[in-house]
Amino acid sequence: MPVLTRLIPSPVVVDIRRGAMDDLAGLLADQRISSSGKLAIAISDGSGRALRERLAPVLPGADWYAVSDGTIDSAVKLADGIKGNRYDAVVGLGGGKIIDVAKYAAARVGLPLVAVATNLSHDGLCSPVATLDNDNGRGSYGVPTPIAVVIDLDVIREAPARYVRSGIGDAISNISCVADWELAHEVNGEEIDGLAAAMARQAGEAVLRHPGGVGDDAFLKVLAEGLVLTGISMSVAGDSRPASGACHEINHAFDLLYPQRAASHGEQVGLGACFAMHLRGARQEALLMASILRRHGLPVLPEEIGFSVDEFVRAVDYAPQTRPGRFTILEHLNLSTDQIRDAYADYASTISS
């Protein structure tokens, strides 16, 4: 008998609204994630203290673990602290680093992970990947998808606006990532998952075409939903392909070549996505993307994040080395440094005209 459907790893609950964090205890009990209330909650060493004071009275059975950084060592330390305490679940309460540390720790001890995001800086909040710093720089580790995702729009508004802007760049970059995936399919026959591609692309398009901004609840909800859908698209695909293309290779190159000067993830991938769309000949799409990123206060030229043209050219030239085996427009064109420089000059002229 043929398989007529497939099971998609996804959270049992996604709660995105104002005041969602105040109902966290009830949500966990109602969904049978933690009827006993015995939880291990990972928070940041700094800003997490205020959230602990707010939530501790309604989560009396929880133990709180302060996480100092987003390293593999911190994740292992958290897992060691959690192990053997008979918790129902692990809660990652914070930004991307805290959630990634909690994801890895939960996977290591075999517990479900609840992601409670306090900012919308990137799509990792619901992805099956934990990105952690290690002795060799930064690594991506496969983990289960969170069992629940909670995003309180009131809390998101309290975070610096630059975090929301970063998430905008990350979401919009999906459009370029999926185009790279389709290119790899056309040129090399790489298998493409149509459902994962559709989810990632539509998440990006929804953010790209929404008329609102960072101070608008309706826009924040669309952005949050887009980031969650992007994470689920990676679960569907089985890897990061729907949301990682040339733009992310350029981002990784910035991080590796200029570790003390790198901008936010979303700023770098947004810039990379615009340039990648231009390289593939999609000039109108690149123009639209650049105009929307500018409207949200995001960079579209390297000097806007403190890099010279020469440094940008070097990053683009180095980018394919960051993801061996991944095929994008950069690998397809295989440009020399002089050709990259010429392409950038054309790009800068096009989006500035």
The verdict on 174 and 201 lying in the same domain is: yes
The verdict on 167 and 80 lying in the same domain is: no
Domain count, the chain: 2
The answer to the question of whether 120 is labelled as a binding residue is yes
- What does the pLDDT read at residue 132? 92
Rounded CA-CA distance 207/125 in Å is 17
The verdict on 348 and 201 lying in the same domain is: yes
Query: Which phi and psi angles does 61 have, rounded to 5°?
Result: -90, 5
Residues 179 and 282: beta-carbon distance below 8 Å: yes
The verdict on 46 and 34 lying in the same domain is: yes
The answer to the question of whether 10 is labelled as a binding residue is no
The verdict on 145 and 194 lying in the same domain is: no
The answer to the question of whether 127 is labelled as a binding residue is yes
Q: Which residues of 247-263 are buried (b: 16+ CB within 10 A; e: fewer)?
A: bbbbbbbbbbbeeeebb
The answer to the question of whether 265 is labelled as a binding residue is yes
The answer to the question of whether 119 is labelled as a binding residue is yes
The answer to the question of whether 278 is labelled as a binding residue is no
Rounded CA-CA distance 118/140 in Å is 22
Per-10-residue mean pLDDT of the chain, 353 residues long, equals 73 95 88 88 85 92 94 96 95 94 97 95 91 83 94 94 96 98 98 97 98 96 98 94 97 93 92 98 97 98 97 98 96 98 97 86
Residue among 294, 298, 123 nearest 203 (CA) = 123
The answer to the question of whether 305 is labelled as a binding residue is no
The answer to the question of whether 118 is labelled as a binding residue is yes
> In angstroms, how far is the first alpha carbon of the chain from the final one?
58
Task: Count the neighbouring beta carbons within 10 Å of the beta carbon of residue 136.
Answer: 6
The answer to the question of whether 140 is labelled as a binding residue is no
The verdict on 152 and 183 lying in the same domain is: no
The answer to the question of whether 329 is labelled as a binding residue is no
The answer to the question of whether 97 is labelled as a binding residue is yes
Is 76 within a domain? yes
The verdict on 197 and 344 lying in the same domain is: yes
3-state secondary structure of 245: coil
The answer to the question of whether 8 is labelled as a binding residue is no
Give the residue numbers spanning the domain of 328: 162-352
- What does the pLDDT read at residue 251? 96
The verdict on 153 and 172 lying in the same domain is: no
- What does the pLDDT read at residue 69? 92
